[in-house]
A and B are shown apart, each in its own frame.
Chain A
Amino acid sequence: MTALQVLVDLGIDQEMLAGIVGVLVAAYLASRVVGYALIAVAERSPRRRISIKMLVPIARFLIYGIAAFLVLGPLLRLSTAQLLAASGLLGAALGFGLKDLFAGMIGGLVLITERPYQVGDKVTIDGDYGEVTDIGLRATTLMTPDDSAVRVPNATLFTANVSNANDGRPEMMVVVELAVTAGADVGRASEIVEEAMVTSKYVYVDDDRPFAVLVEDESYYRTIRGKAYVADLRDEFAFASDVTERSMAAFASEGIEMPEAPVHISEHR
């Protein structure tokens, strides 16, 4: 049986087919335009950037939902035989080929309602770390620090831990770690790291976003861990690099020695 014959059996004539194609094309264009407009508005409003971007997947879900309703509306007026044929096909498709796709779409719906992360958040999902750039019907796209786009199926949400670094806020804490030798003036080194953080062009400090410097004594060296927030989470690595570079320059000029052997720096952020 050809695809055309199936369509004829389902009662879809040429006019209806054209209407369905028109609705789908319109839905696609509408989702692109709405997405573009919302992102443009979000970029003009740094404080509400993530809140506005969160609307993008919701708007897309709504647009495609309306399109699905418009497409399926005429189709639902089926005879009993047609309904049985269609539901049989749909059931078989879901049961075999589209199982993962269906699970991904359910995951997408859970993402919209529970919001464990939003577009713009920095998250770790199943070992992949990056900024959420898109939440689609089936998968979430992460942009990694190396500028690779990782597509994570939304169904992963049901089986893997999700770590969210900023939880919908534009700011995020960045941890910078430096090591000094056991004989170095650790007090002065801590002051340097603190001043490097608070004088950075990327830093953001207020009562709810304080900064701190912690010192940890390792066996042969000491780790100085500086914690501060950046105003825009996209500056995470620029901030860490800025603080590290200027701290190391100040260490060198003040004779604070850093261990020569490589030390383990935790990936905790």
Chain B
Amino acid sequence: MDSAVGRGRQGPDVDVPTLLGDDHEAFETVLSGEGTGPVAVVGEPFSGRGSVLDRAVRELDATRVSLDPGDGVDRIRAKTNGAPVVIEDCQHLYERRIGGFEALSAFLDDLASIDARVVTGWNRYAWAYLTAVQALDREFPVTVEIQPLSAERTAELVLARYDEMPAFVADDPERGGLIVTTRHELGWRDWSVSVPVPMLDPVVARDLFSDGNLDPKDVTFGRLAAVSNGNLGVATAIWETHHGSEVRPSDIAVPASDRDLDREEAFCLRIVLAKERVNRAQLTGIVDGLDRVLGRLSRDGLVTIEDGIVEPVPAAVPAAAATTERGRIL
């Protein structure tokens, strides 16, 4: 069995028109030599940004520069010689600290004087942050974004990885109730009581309004596309986490911790999400109580830490993004 996540952080191979959607035309224009100025390819972690950059390398016969955590502008300068260049993972050019924008600033200065075609790849969260605080988008006249995949396309691409098809089974309507009860502490002065609060189960409630004759496979991949935000790398990781010989729509869920993250944890998670790979040492001066924070995020299944590199867990990216956006962390 092939593992999408195991194939590296670029994510699975998908055709570029599918990935770019309406932005594909603008990208083709760039590859055909029309237009001027550097190009930014922006996408979520594991969404297949690498496939788009692969295409640019082939079409432009360009030099490829893959940046790693801690890399600076010198690594780019060493490989630029007037020929087209494709620079991957440009989010490693900044750090979220005082003095952390120097490499990015030098890179943007260089970019202004390069005549050759330059295609750059950016993490979506890093791009949003740098656009807000450094007006990064002004330096890139052409920006293309990886688009969410449809449920049908997600099904095709996920299932294409396997020789054997699982059996798709409809959810048992008796299995879960419409009302889910959670308990909340209600306190007054020194007195408190745990009060049951009934809430509608959104999945069961949605099923109530469906016609009930939907193909379980369609429902399963509809849910997979929805929970993964159409991100193929994430969808594949969620699929691999849950599927067996028999798959029910309710098996598809984003792994998420029950507890709310505090500000420090959410901030650390946002940095990991934006950088995709980050040195633990780089986080030391930024996140207070780093060891404990990373320990908790790791236990919650949101990040992995290996050889001093912190990375987001692919299947947990939607939960991580939702958590940090709920906390309105830039």
Interface string of A140-168 (1 = CB under 8 A from B): 00000000000000000000000000000
Contact residue among A204, A235, A246 (Cβ-Cβ distance under 8 Å from B98): A246
A217-264 CB contacts (< 8 Å) to partner B: 231-232, 235, 246-247, 250
Interface size class of B (residues with CB under 8 A): 20 to 34
Tell me which residues across on chain A come within 8 A of B326, comparing CB atoms: 46
Contact A195 B101 (CB under 8 A): yes
Minimum CB distance partner of B95 in chain A: A199
Known: A32-B188, A40-B184, A46-B327. A201 touches B264 (CB 8 A): yes
Tell me which residues across on chain A come within 8 A of B100, comparing CB atoms: 195, 199
Contact B98 A231 (CB under 8 A): no
CB distance from A201 to the nearest CB of B (A): 4
Contact A47 B328 (CB under 8 A): yes
A205: Cβ under 8 A from any B Cβ: yes
B168-188 CB contacts (< 8 Å) to partner A: 184, 186, 188
Tell me which residues across on chain B come within 8 A of A196, comparing CB atoms: 98
Interface string of B303-330 (1 = CB under 8 A from A): 0000000000000000000000011111
A194-210 CB contacts (< 8 Å) to partner B: 195-196, 198-199, 201-206
Contact B328 A232 (CB under 8 A): yes
Tell me which residues across on chain A come within 8 A of B267, comparing CB atoms: 201
Minimum CB distance partner of B328 in chain A: A231
Report how far A46 CA is from B329 CA in the complex, Å: 11
B212: Cβ under 8 A from any A Cβ: no
Contact A199 B188 (CB under 8 A): no
Report how far A195 CA is from B96 CA in the complex, Å: 9
A192: Cβ under 8 A from any B Cβ: yes
B1: Cβ under 8 A from any A Cβ: no
Report how far A206 CA is from B128 CA in the complex, Å: 10
CB distance from B45 to the nearest CB of A (A): 20
B99: Cβ under 8 A from any A Cβ: yes
Contact A205 B132 (CB under 8 A): yes
Tell me which residues across on chain B come within 8 A of A211, comparing CB atoms: 133
Report how far A203 CA is from B330 CA in the complex, Å: 7
Tell me which residues across on chain B come within 8 A of A246, comparing CB atoms: 98
CB distance from B50 to the nearest CB of A (A): 28
Minimum CB distance partner of B327 in chain A: A46
Report how far A192 CA is from B100 CA in the complex, Å: 11
A36: Cβ under 8 A from any B Cβ: yes
B7: Cβ under 8 A from any A Cβ: no
Report how far A250 CA is from B98 CA in the complex, Å: 8
B206: Cβ under 8 A from any A Cβ: no
Q: Which of A192, A199, A206 has the most CB of B within 10 A?
A: A199
Interface string of A54-86 (1 = CB under 8 A from B): 000000000000000000000000000000000
Contact residue among B99, B188, B330 (Cβ-Cβ distance under 8 Å from A204): B330
8 residue pairs of the A-B complex, CB under 8 angstroms, read: A46-B326, A195-B101, A198-B133, A205-B133, A206-B132, A231-B329, A246-B98, A250-B99
For the complex with contacts A170-B328, A196-B98, 7 further pairs of A-B residues with Cβ separation under 8 Å are A46-B326, A192-B98, A195-B98, A199-B96, A201-B329, A202-B263, A231-B327
